[in-house]
């Protein structure tokens, strides 16, 4: 277990593993964050959000079929939408393989993220989950898949297996979504800086950089001993 960080400004990110714009937004935020000279004094916390909480995991249905059904559009329209998103992802340095993506409910993936958070591995866990879903065609609702991802992060496989089977962190995921509702977050990704400023969507890296600097400068003025 790691100690909770003190003397840091917090950036909270509401996101869903199955949201293509969330992965793109993650990359664009990281570009800004990695170029920020005070990054060591900023804590990032990922918050759970489900775009399709009632989705049934179905390895027999491809993502184009799901999107068409979910949005009431044709398969061809769905393919065109996903092709456009794939190109956006490519511009951000990501590879999306929608043709092999497994339609999966993301609730267990969010529980996995909370498990990893205990050990200071949440950021890495989110990256693993996004890559598994969008690039590698893995079932992120499957316990065995999540345990393999956890093992790659150096997490205790037995502890993770127990946590998944015992439905651990269910309350944490639900709390994040309830908090999103109170904050009127209805689309992701949604970035909250020090509970003062928000950026919605996969904005340009410069937008993130500007808000990050502004919020941190104000935070530092309010916490001179810490900043």
pTM of the complete model: 0.93
Residue carrying the six token digits 């919605």:
200
**Quick one: pLDDT at residue 147?**
98
Q: Contact, 19 vs 104, CB < 8 A?
A: no
**Quick one: pLDDT at residue 6?**
58
Reply yes or no: is the peptide bond before residue 189 cis, omega within 30 of 0: yes
The total of other beta-carbon atoms located within 10 Å of residue 144's CB is 10
Q: Is the pLDDT of residue 38 over 50?
A: yes
pLDDT bin (cut points 50, 70, 90) of residue 4 is very low
The residues, ordered by sequence, that sit 6+ positions from 185 with a Cβ below 8 Å of its Cβ are: 14, 49
pLDDT bin (cut points 50, 70, 90) of residue 59 is confident
The residues, ordered by sequence, that sit 6+ positions from 2 with a Cβ below 8 Å of its Cβ are: 118, 119, 120
Residue-averaged pLDDT of the chain: 94
Average pLDDT over residues 79-83: 96
Structure tokens at 19: 């949201």
Average pLDDT over residues 104-117: 98
Q: Contact, 101 vs 95, CB < 8 A?
A: no
Q: Is the pLDDT of residue 202 over 50?
A: yes
Q: What is the dihedral of CA 93, 130, 121, 220, to 10 degrees?
A: 60
Average pLDDT over residues 34-62: 94
């Amino acid at each position: 277990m790691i100690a909770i960080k003190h003397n840091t400004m917090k950036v909270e990110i509401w996101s869903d593993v199955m949201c293509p714009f969330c992965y793109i937004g993650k990359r664009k935020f990281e570009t800004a964050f990695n170029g920020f000279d005070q990054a060591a004094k900023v804590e990032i916390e990922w918050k759970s959000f489900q775009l399709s909480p009632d989705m049934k995991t179905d390895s027999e249905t491809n993502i184009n079929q799901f999107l068409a059904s979910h949005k009431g559009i044709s398969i061809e329209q769905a393919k065109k939408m996903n092709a456009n998103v794939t190109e956006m992802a490519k511009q951000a340095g990501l590879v999306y393989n929608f043709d092999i993506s497994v339609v999966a409910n993301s609730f267990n993936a969010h529980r996995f993220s909370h498990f990893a958070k205990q050990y200071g591995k949440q950021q890495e866990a989110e990256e693993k989950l996004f890559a598994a879903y969008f690039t590698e065609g893995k079932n992120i609702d499957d316990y065995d898949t999540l345990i393999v991802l956890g093992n790659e992060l150096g997490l205790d496989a037995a502890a993770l297996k127990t946590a998944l089977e015992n439905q651990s962190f269910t309350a944490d995921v639900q709390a994040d979504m309830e908090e999103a509702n109170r904050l009127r977050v209805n689309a992701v990704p949604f970035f909250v800086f020090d509970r003062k400023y928000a950026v919605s969507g996969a904005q340009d890296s410069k937008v993130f950089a500007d808000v990050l600097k502004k919020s941190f400068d104000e935070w530092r003025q309010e916490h001179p001993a810490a900043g």
